[in-house]
């Protein structure tokens, strides 16, 4: 059963007080609105000192007044009309009229505290003694001040009060209808959700569950409501986790991965997210939450784990062995090769390099997402790392007759980095530059360094302002490596997303950029793991022709960005 309808849920106390204030000002009588049991909802309005200071001043007197108010409401409900009656406590004349919704008695509007004629002294004294009044003289003085009113005028006031109760009832009915419509809409909305939506009471019993939630657990809704929530949890760990969080006084929301159990005793993984429910006094009365079946996510996660395991053991190691074997053949350790043979073997070696790099990129992205990426840093000249990358890409540049221009300081720029990952970053950037450069094109590689305190020409290009937070006084300085090509360029709208996983571009100049979109994603994670930044500029101005074309990829690394390996 739902909670009974209450008048204050439908009409504000402030509005009720204002109605009585105006009514008593016009009618000149006392008034109050009570619950059907006689207990007050509003403050008393224009009550006589006789009633306030004497009739309601003792426990017995208050009890009799509540009983009288309850009697007035009962009699008005019995005849379904406003009534006038004699107060059961003091004998004053009162009136009662109902506030109803669809036949439900929500409240009683009471008025009166007048006399049609004076009360006999002995009867009045007897009534005073019956409720424990000790100041009989004061009681009688205030009784003498109670206003006299004809029955005709009292009935006119009762009719006015009846109109007021009709107005209050209509206000309450309109709000009630609006709430019912809202509840129906909310119910339809909740039942349209595919996840389980559930609420619990303070004792951890289920107060509400939507149809999808009941179906998820293999029950009907009425089979779950009123039952302890732990009937839906499969093991002790899940139950204790729920109860621990539900009993916590930390407040707010909580989330956990638990194991649930269906009506047929089959178990499945779920992710639960609960938020506290509070009453008008801000006390916690339960929780409302969402329970989501994550069986499919767990299955895909396991498939991902299996794939990574397969890449690691079944693909990466054979590719590495093949690469080393090809290096031995190309190096001439097994005999000399003619020119055509050497070209073919170098192409095979390049392909194995690329395949090994792709596999390594995938593994590093996976490690980074799972917090398992570890840098193995040593101190090395950045020029050397770039030269190793250029050597690995040499065959591709020869095939496309691309010329390379390298600008680097003559003095080594020693930097603490993970050589393998920074070399793969350079290889990925060079591979893109070669791939999208025209036949016979030109690629420029620039290496520049700036140590804190230096003020010589050739300062590296500035990082975009929003990305220069790592270049503070605590750093020793930084180096910048730039790879600039004469290719089709990258529209500005893609400058950020090209570093996201699986991002490929479609432009008017080219159908699409080939690949699965992991190369630049690896570059970003590798550079940022060293405390650096990577960004692209496109198009760039050709210093010779003055034409804007191509791309310039830049990455910046602090000299002390990586921690040396133990």
Half-sphere exposure of 508 (CA within 13 A, CB side): 1
CATH class of 7-180: alpha beta
**Angle, to 10 degrees, between the axis of helix 419-436 and the axis of helix 339-369?**
120
CATH topology of domain 374-558: Heat Shock Protein 90 (3.30.565)
pLDDT of the residue at 391 = 85
**What pTM, to 2 d.p., does this model score?**
0.49
Give the DSSP H/E element, type plus range, for residue 23: helix 13-27
Measure the CA angle with vertex 307, ends 518 and 523; round to 5°.
20
Q: Do residues 555 and 536 make contact, with C-beta atoms less than 8 angstroms apart?
A: no
pLDDT 10s digits, 395-449: 888 888 999 999 999 899 999 998 888 988 999 899 889 988 899 999 999 999 8
CB-count exposure of residue 122 (10 Å: 0-12, 13-18, 19+): exposed
pLDDT 10s digits, 293-322: 999 888 888 887 777 767 666 677 677 778
Q: Do residues 529 and 555 make contact, with C-beta atoms less than 8 angstroms apart?
A: no
Number of H helices and E strands in the chain, helices first, is 17, 18
**Angle, to 10 degrees, between the axis of helix 519-529 and the axis of helix 339-369?**
60
C-alpha span between 53 and 140 (Å, rounded): 12
Give the DSSP H/E element, type plus range, for residue 61: helix 59-79
Torsion over CA: 304, 308, 310, 315 (sign): positive
Q: Would you write out the chain's pLDDT as a tens digit for each of its 566 residues?
A: 445 677 887 788 888 898 888 888 888 899 999 999 889 999 999 999 999 999 999 999 999 999 999 999 999 989 888 888 999 999 999 999 888 887 788 889 999 999 989 999 999 999 999 999 999 999 999 999 999 998 788 888 888 888 788 778 777 777 766 666 655 655 666 666 778 888 888 888 988 888 888 889 999 988 998 899 888 999 899 988 888 888 876 666 788 899 999 999 999 999 988 888 777 677 777 888 888 899 988 888 888 777 776 766 667 767 777 878 888 887 787 888 887 887 788 778 777 777 777 777 777 777 777 777 888 899 999 999 999 889 888 888 888 899 999 999 989 999 999 888 898 899 989 988 998 889 999 999 999 988 765 544 444 454 554 555 545 444 568 899 999 998 888 888 888 888 887 666 655 544 444 555 678 888 998 899 999 999 999 888 665 555 677 899 999 999 876 654 44
Sheet with 93-101: strands ordered across: 30-34, 104-114, 93-101, 83-86
pLDDT of the residue at 186 = 57
pLDDT of the residue at 458 = 44
pLDDT of the residue at 92 = 94
CATH class of 193-293: alpha beta
C-alpha span between 487 and 551 (Å, rounded): 7
pLDDT of the residue at 126 = 94
Beta strand ranges found along 217-341 (DSSP E): 253-261, 267-278, 284-293
């Amino acid at each position: 059963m739902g909670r009974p309808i209450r008048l204050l849920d439908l009409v504000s106390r402030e509005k009720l007080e204002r109605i009585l204030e105006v009514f008593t000002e016009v009618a000149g009588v006392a008034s109050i609105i009570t619950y059907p049991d006689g207990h007050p909802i509003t403050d008393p309005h224009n009550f006589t000192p006789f009633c306030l200071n004497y009739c309601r001043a003792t426990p017995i007197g208050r009890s009799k007044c509540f009983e009288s108010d309850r009697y007035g409401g009962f009699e008005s409900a019995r005849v379904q009309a406003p009534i006038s009656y004699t107060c059961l406590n003091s004998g004053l004349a009162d009136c009662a009229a109902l506030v109803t919704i669809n036949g439900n008695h929500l409240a009683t509007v009471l008025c009166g505290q007048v006399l049609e004629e004076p009360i006999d002294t002995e009867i009045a004294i007897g009534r005073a003694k019956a409720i424990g009044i000790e100041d009989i003289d004061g009681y009688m003085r205030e009784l003498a001040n109670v206003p006299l009113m004809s029955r005709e005028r009292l009935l006119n006031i009762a009719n006015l009060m009846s109109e007021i109760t009709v107005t209050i009832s209509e206000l309450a009915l309109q709000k009630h209808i609006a709430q019912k419509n809202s509840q129906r809409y909310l119910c339809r909305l909740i039942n349209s959700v595919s996840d389980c939506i559930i609420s619990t009471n303070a004792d951890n019993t289920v107060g509400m569950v939507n149809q999808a939630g009941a179906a998820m657990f293999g029950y009907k809704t009425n089979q779950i409501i009123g039952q302890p929530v732990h009937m839906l949890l499969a093991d002790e760990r899940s139950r204790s986790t729920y109860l621990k969080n539900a009993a916590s006084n930390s407040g707010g929301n909580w989330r956990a991965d638990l194991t649930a159990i269906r009506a047929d005793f089959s178990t499945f993984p779920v992710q639960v997210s609960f938020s506290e429910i509070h009453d008008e006094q801000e006390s916690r009365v339960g929780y409302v939450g969402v329970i989501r079946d994550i069986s499919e996510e767990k299955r895909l996660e396991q498939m991902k784990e299996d794939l990574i395991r397969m890449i690691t053991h079944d693909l990466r190691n054979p590719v590495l062995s093949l690469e080393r074997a090809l290096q031995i053949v190309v190096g001439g350790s097994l005999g000399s090769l003619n020119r055509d043979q050497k070209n073919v073997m170098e192409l095979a070696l390049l392909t194995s390099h690329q395949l090994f790099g792709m596999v390594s990129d995938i593994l590093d992205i996976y490690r980074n997402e799972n917090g398992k990426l570890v840098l193995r840093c040593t101190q090395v000249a950045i020029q050397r790392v770039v030269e190793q990358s250029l050597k690995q890409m040499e065959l591709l540049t020869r095939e496309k007759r691309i010329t390379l221009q390298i600008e680097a300081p003559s003095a080594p720029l020693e930097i603490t980095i993970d050589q393998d990952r920074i070399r793969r970053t350079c290889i990925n950037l060079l591979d893109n530059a070669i791939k999208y450069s025209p036949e016979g094109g030109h690629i420029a590689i620039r290496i520049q360094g700036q140590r804190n305190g230096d003020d010589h020409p050739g300062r590296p290009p500035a990082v975009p302002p929003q990305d220069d937070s790592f270049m503070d006084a605590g750093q020793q300085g930084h180096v910048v490596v730039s790879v600039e090509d004469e290719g089709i360029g990258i529209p500005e709208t893609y400058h950020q997303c090209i570093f996201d996983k699986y991002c490929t571009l479609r432009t008017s100049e080219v159908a699409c950029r080939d690949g699965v979109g992991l190369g630049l994603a690896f570059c970003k994670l590798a550079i940022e793991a060293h405390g650096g930044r990577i960004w692209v500029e496109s198009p760039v101005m050709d210093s010779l022709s003055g034409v804007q074309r191509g791309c310039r990829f830049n990455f910046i690394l602090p000299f002390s960005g990586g921690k040396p390996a133990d």
